């Protein structure tokens, strides 16, 4: 009887180990193939995304490349499997060139063959100035707990998609007057919605044109958000004051 109970306990422990292993395997597969969580550490996508937002990115949206796998361990010769063409206006997570090992999130503004320019703060796509209309100022706290106010606009892209942008320095920011960028084949042009506080494709030596292979996925929904000037995600006792309840399960547009 003693040996029987010992074998039973041994079997239960092994079953538990197998269950945990399979659960981790399934979670890893979901993270690799379906959805991956990301958090927002910077203000480059204000007002669309705020510091302290946690979001899900669909890995299947554009197909799969080596960067769909953890640490980019896939073979470089694969290109993209089940490739789908991203749409202008998508909010995209990608590996920042040229290092290709840092996750960035920006809005896709330029498709292959497009001519992109910013002149006096206004966005031009293929020679056409994008319409924008002013709305209430963005009011947010930065990492130093300072109140930040910036003019906010709703910008309309050529296909009619709209999104909000912030212009903290008005139309005289460091990248508010640029040359014309011709997006190469197989590449995309990315810009942050916080136009005066974003390192993006306008800075060719820092980011530049993003290869299709570098796309990780499309940002879909904010599943959690915490005001990091009040509490970090692990400071549960401060959550009642810090959680941005209005941003939970909010679709990213």
Q: Write out the catalytic residue numbers.
A: 44, 106
H/E segment holding residue 8: helix 2-33
Find the largest Cα–Cα distance for the chain: 85
Among candidate residues 193, 202, 200, 92, the one with its CA nearest the CA of residue 151: 193
Please give the Cα distance from 224 to 206 (Å, whole number): 30
Mapped onto helix, strand or coil, the DSSP state of residue 19 is helix
Residue with tokens 């749409």: 87
Three-state SS string across 204-242, please?
CCCCCCEEHHHEEEEEEEEEEEECCCCCCCCCHHHHHHH
Cα within 13 Å of Cα(172), Cβ side: 0
């Amino acid at each position: 009887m003693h040996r029987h109970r010992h074998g039973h306990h041994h079997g239960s422990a092994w079953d538990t180990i197998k269950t945990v292993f399979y659960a981790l395997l399934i979670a890893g597969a979901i993270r690799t193939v379906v959805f991956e969580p990301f958090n927002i550490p910077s203000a480059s996508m204000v007002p669309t995304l705020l510091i302290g937002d946690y979001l899900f990115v669909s890995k299947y949206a554009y197909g799969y490349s080596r960067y769909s796998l953890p640490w980019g361990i896939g073979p470089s010769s694969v290109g993209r499997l089940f490739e789908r063409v991203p749409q202008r206006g998508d909010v995209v997570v990608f590996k920042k060139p040229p290092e290709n090992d840092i996750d960035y999130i920006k809005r896709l503004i330029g498709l292959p063959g497009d001519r992109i320019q910013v002149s006096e703060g206004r966005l031009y796509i293929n020679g056409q100035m994008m319409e924008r209309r002013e709305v209430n100022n963005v009011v947010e706290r930065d990492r130093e707990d300072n109140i930040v106010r910036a003019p906010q606009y709703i910008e309309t892209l050529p296909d009619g998609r709209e999104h909000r942008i912030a212009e903290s320095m008005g139309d005289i920011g460091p990248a508010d007057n640029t040359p014309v960028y011709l997006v190469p084949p197989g590449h995309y042009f990315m810009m942050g919605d916080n136009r005066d506080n974003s390192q993006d494709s306008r800075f060719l030596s820092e980011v530049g044109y993003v290869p299709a292979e570098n796309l990780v996925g499309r940002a879909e929904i904010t599943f959690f958000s915490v005001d990091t000037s009040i509490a970090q995600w692990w400071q549960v006792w401060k959550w009642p004051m810090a959680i941005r309840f209005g941003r939970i399960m909010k679709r990213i547009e």
